[in-house]
């Protein structure tokens, strides 16, 4: 979804979604229909906007997964529209946008590195690319455990990466990493599975994975009970990069 912030500025508003098979697209669609509202309300959105400081007249591209009901960036938007495209092959001219964002969607992308390269390509020199997504620890077994846990809850889940992986994607795409940060989110297990309409059988499996997680995974997930409800932690990161100028 692209936006312009200044009244009477003409733009070509569009949006993008990840490349996927028809089956995966259906899975992503179903999952976002179930809980995209809760994810869009994440504190990372307001933080991302504070870090990027969008300016009047900026053209922005907001990349989301599948055909979701768009919830635009909280800006004084004068124009916006939604278009279906492949995040790894965006149908936009090079250097078309001042700001490219992708919020809580990249873990559904089959080729994150290619998607970041495309975000960099369509961003003007000096413009910003900003990502907010779930991440996993660098420790391989922990990362695999959490990704398996997430995929059982959401079959459209492909992979969450560690923060150093994201920095690597940015640098490889010609982006200067300006800022990275991460924050732990405490989640209510019951609400988390209900938003995704998890089956009763998978709900039990997820609870077992959480309660019986090996020590290395428990350190990251920190499961526990609070007021008779199961709670646990996931981690979300924000990465901001600047498209390098041609002379750099």
Tens-place pLDDT, residues 80-111: 666 677 888 888 999 999 999 998 899 999 99
Question: Tens digit of pLDDT for each residue in 166-217?
Answer: 999 999 999 999 999 999 999 999 999 999 999 999 999 999 999 999 999 9
What distance in Å separates the CA atoms of residue 114 and residue 169, rounded to the nearest whole number? 9
pLDDT (average), residues 228-232: 95
Average pLDDT over residues 49-68: 81
What is the CATH architecture of 2-243? 3-Layer(aba) Sandwich (3.40)
Rounded-to-integer distance, Cα 135 and Cα 117, Å: 19
User: Are 23 and 115 spatial neighbours (Cβ–Cβ below 8 Å)?
Assistant: no
Give domain limits for the chain: 2-243
Q: How confident is the model at residue 66 (pLDDT cuts 50, 70, 90)?
A: low
Q: For residue 159, is pLDDT > 80?
A: yes
């Amino acid at each position: 979804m692209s936006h312009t912030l200044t009244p009477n500025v003409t733009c070509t508003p569009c949006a993008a979604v990840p490349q996927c098979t028809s089956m995966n697209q259906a899975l992503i669609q179903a999952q976002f229909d179930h809980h995209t509202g809760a994810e869009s309300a994440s504190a990372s959105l307001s933080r991302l906007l504070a870090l990027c400081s969008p300016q009047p007249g900026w053209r922005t591209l907001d990349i989301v997964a599948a055909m979701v009901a768009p919830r635009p960036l909280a800006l004084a938007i004068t124009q916006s529209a939604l278009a279906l495209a492949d995040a790894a092959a965006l149908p936009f001219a090079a250097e078309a946008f001042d700001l490219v964002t992708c919020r809580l969607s990249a873990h559904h992308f089959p080729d994150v590195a290619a998607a970041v390269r495309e975000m960099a390509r369509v961003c003007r020199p000096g413009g910003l690319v900003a990502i907010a997504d779930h991440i996993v620890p660098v420790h391989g077994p922990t990362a695999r455990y959490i990704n398996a846990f997430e995929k059982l809850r959401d079959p459209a889940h492909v992979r969450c990466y560690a923060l150093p992986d994201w920095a690597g994607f940015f640098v490889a795409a010609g982006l200067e990493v300006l800022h990275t940060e991460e924050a732990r989110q405490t989640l209510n297990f019951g609400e988390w599975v209900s938003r995704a309409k998890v089956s009763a059988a998978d709900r039990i499996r997820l609870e077992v994975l959480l309660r019986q997680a090996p020590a290395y995974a428990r350190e990251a997930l920190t499961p526990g009970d609070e007021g008779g409800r199961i709670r646990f932690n996931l981690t979300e990161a924000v990465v901001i990069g600047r498209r390098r100028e041609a002379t750099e």
